[in-house]
Structures are given as C-alpha cells and as structure tokens.
Amino acid sequence: MTHKESEPVLSVRDLRIGIGKQNAILHGVSFDILPGETYGLVGESGSGKSITGLSVMGLLKRPLQVTGGSILFRGQELLTLNSRARRRLRGDRMAMVFQEPMTALNPLATVGRQIAEMFVIHRGLRWSQARTKAVEALENVRVPSPEERARSYPHQLSGGMRQRVMIAMALACRPDLLIADEPTTALDVTVQAGVLELIAELSQAEGTAVLLVSHDLGVIANMCRRVGVMDQGRLVEEQDTRALFERPLHPYTRGLLAARPRLGSRTLAQRGRLTELDEVVSSDERGRDQPTLVTPRVFSGATP
C-alpha cells in the first residue's frame, strides 16, 4: 500500500483490443479508478465492457488480444509485464467476480478448498492453515455456519451463496482492485441487493477499488460515484453518476436512460410507448450489422 491517495489504482489509456490486428473490437478506451473508489462501466451486451475487465486481469481468450494502449496498475505497466509476474498479481492484488456463479466454481472441489487455494498460492500457507483462513473468509461474507459450508460442494449451495463464496475468494488476499463483471445478473432479484451491499461494504472497509461492470443502470446508480458509458467498443461518456442521470450528454446515454422502465406509472397507457433505441441513436452512429437492443421493442410490441 505504498501508493499515494491521489494516484489512481488503475489507469487505462487508449486501450485497444481486436481479433488479430485487423478487426478492432475496442477502439481506444481510457479511464482511471482511484483507491477505494467504485467505478461503473455500463453498456449493452457486446459494447466491450466485459472484455475491458478481462484485459485488465490478463484473461483474454485466444483470438482476442490487446492491440494497443496501456494499463497502469499502481503505476506499473501491465501490458509489458511477463506472464509470471502478471499471474502473481492476479488473485493477490487484483481479483475478479464473474457473472455465472453456477459454473464459475470447480464442481469437484469443496468451496473451502477453493477459497483456501488463494492462501496457498499467494501467501504460501499450508493447506491446514489455509483452511481455517477460508472459514474466516466465509464468515466475512456472512455465510451462515461457515465451518459446515466450507465442506460443501458448489452444487449444494444456492446461487446467492455461491456468489458470496466467489466474493470471499476474490477478497481473500485483500486486493487493491476488484473487478465485478455483472455480479448479480444471474441471481434472483431478492438476493441481488444483499450481494451488492456486501461488495460495497467490504470494499469500503478494506479500501478496495472496484470496477463494476453492468448493463443495469439501477445497479450502477446504487453503487458507483462515477460511471463510464460504453457503446460499440468506445467509452462514449464519463460522468458523476448523479450528473449522468440528470444531464446525460451523449445521445446513446439518453437512449439508455429513456429505455429504463419507470416506477410509478402504473398502467400501460400512462407509461406510453417505451423508447426504442434506434429512434434516439441515428443509424450512422451504430454499426450496420450490430444487433440492436431487443428488450424495449418487446415491451412496445406488447402495447395494444
């Protein structure tokens, strides 16, 4: 923890990702995350927010590769780091929580063992010691009867519990940066709030910076002070969350906000026709063969 308060934990500059050199998917994305800050990346699926998170972790899959730009983590350039050094950072200094808690855990190992592995890899603990630390970690994420739960296998836990396990695992080594990629999307609405609360609380307590990737503006509004809006592989707007909701600058953001169903207007007649994204964003601003957001259309189609 040697960095100064003002210096960003993560500084992404002009990041470019493509399939090979030709097909660019991310066209120069830049943003900073300060220590202890929760930064939101919002956009529809395919906008490039998830691969931004994965590239920071160094987990891009084969045809995808970083083609340019820089990723500074605590002042250190990650893109020129060798794979061994990057691996050491992963899990220890930066950690990630994924969308699908059903498949993100090894089905054949106990939850406790999977958390304990963090301490074995990064702290050099013996398995017996690591196991007690794992139980503590489960207790931290408020899993009831952690002793017993540590001996369970993933399939024996509910989705919300599994995501708590993922969070316990990610935060086990008290990282400086937590990347949460749609952490509540796959969960029941009833447990979403609890999981988000947990992330907020633990990151505040430890001073962990969070990069929260989501398509859900509601989640972003609750969690983040600053938001970046992504569309078609570009960061089209970056604002304070409050300002974004009050005065969206970019037409795409306006469309995204308008597409949200509003609370309060109860009947369909009152609600009127939901905004279609295509009406807001002129067609030359989006790629021709890109899929458009489907949900609003479905809603509007339902009006009599």
Interface ranges with other proteins (CB under 8 A): 57, 59, 63, 87-92, 95-96, 98, 100, 103-109, 117-118, 121-122, 151-153, 155-156, 166, 169-170
Judged by beta carbon, residue 92 or residue 276, the one nearer other proteins is 92
Q: At closest approach, how far in Å is the CB of 279 from other proteins?
A: 32
Instruction: Give the contacts of 147 (CB within 8 A, at least 6 positions apart).
Output: 135
Tokens of 154: 């993933």
Judged by beta carbon, residue 52 or residue 239, the one nearer other proteins is 52
Q: CA 239, CA 251: separation in Å to the nearest integer?
A: 14
Q: Provide the residue type at 196 as one letter.
A: L
Nearest to 52 by CA among 36, 38, 64, 63: 64
What are the residues facing 31 on neighbouring strands? Answer: 12
Judged by beta carbon, residue 106 or residue 290, the one nearer other proteins is 106
Q: At closest approach, how far in Å is the CB of 103 from other proteins?
A: 4
Q: At closest approach, how far in Å is the CB of 276 from other proteins?
A: 28
Judge contact between 280 and 258, C-beta under 8 A: yes
Judged by beta carbon, residue 121 or residue 257, the one nearer other proteins is 121
Q: At closest approach, how far in Å is the CB of 53 from other proteins?
A: 10
Tokens of 283: 């067609």
Q: At closest approach, how far in Å is the CB of 151 from other proteins?
A: 8
Judged by beta carbon, residue 105 or residue 212, the one nearer other proteins is 105
Judged by beta carbon, residue 79 or residue 257, the one nearer other proteins is 79
Q: At closest approach, how far in Å is the CB of 291 from other proteins?
A: 18
Judged by beta carbon, residue 30 or residue 152, the one nearer other proteins is 152
Q: At closest approach, how far in Å is the CB of 118 from other proteins?
A: 6
Q: At closest approach, how far in Å is the CB of 148 from other proteins?
A: 9
Judged by beta carbon, residue 125 or residue 221, the one nearer other proteins is 125
